[in-house]
Structure 1
């Protein structure tokens, strides 16, 4: 996820995280998606055909979308008012069981991250340590 978001800079990157299995048999899969927004430096959008393919593949593989992720370019890792409007038009969450991860990318490198989840009619946001997403040692 982090590599995709950093490689997308200076545009916002985006994608989803899928999970299959339950309990200790969980397996996770990161699916980077192209940003189809007409203003990719300040917004992200999934192309309808790419989103449909993710959903069809997830169904075939018995996976569930657990998180939508995207980056903010040279801006804070906060779930913005626009992010909230897109995720919950008219105050109704489109994917109430899905979390939203935002990663701030500054100068092409991940700087901070947050996660927002739908709870009691609104989104609650908490910071995420970037170390949780890095599996390789920094050089």
Structure 2
């Protein structure tokens, strides 16, 4: 049986990532719609009922790049950025709906699904994961179609995100 994130002993091997098939289809559709740009969003789960939902987010990278290209040298074709106002709104939604962040997802246009150095810079602050209990889901998109999906979980012992198996399940 997989550990729930909050019950996973720190420092032990990270667990596989389970995802309902219909949610992967929804996330994949988001990635394909946004191609050739990166998409981003979150997969949320209701704490009591276990109900899932995808929260697609705006990739604000181009907006920030236009304002300050020195601080934001990349565009949405090779980076993603969650707007702080949207993050605050999501935090409010989480509290109001009794949800938690199960995974943070984004796509890599015309590339494989891997956790890049840039991805790590965005997910880690002062050597600690910003959302240590949330998996990171990356979708490789080639010519507008998702061709690879990979999940990564924070390993406290190694202070890094490690690739884990993705197990597709039926929503229940």
After TM superposition, the score normalised by the length of structure 1 is 0.87
Moved over 6 A (4+): none
1:106-126 CA distance string (max 9 Å, x none): 111100011011012211113
Shift of 1:27: 0.5
CA distance in 1, matches of 2:53, 2:166: 19
CA distance in 2, matches of 1:94, 1:115: 16
CA distance in 1, matches of 2:51, 2:145: 27
- Contact map agreement 1:112 1:128 (CA 8 A) in 2: no
1:22-101 matches, within 5 Å, as 22=48, 25-37=49-61, 38=65, 39-101=75-137
CA distance in 2, matches of 1:9, 1:107: 8
Structure 2 regions of 5+ residues with no counterpart?
Answer: 1-26, 66-74
- TM-align CA RMSD: 1.9
CA distance in 1, matches of 2:89, 2:124: 22
* Match in the other structure for 1:126: 164
- The count of corresponding residues between Structure 1 and Structure 2 is 131
Shift of 1:127: 5.0
1:67-121 CA distance string (max 9 Å, x none): 1000001011000011011111332211111110000011111000110110122
Higher relative contact order (CA 8 A, sep 6+): 2
Which structure has the bigger radius of gyration? 2
Structure 1 regions of 5+ residues with no counterpart?
Answer: none
SS across alignment from 1:57:
helix
* Match in the other structure for 1:112: 148
Shift of 1:51: 1.2
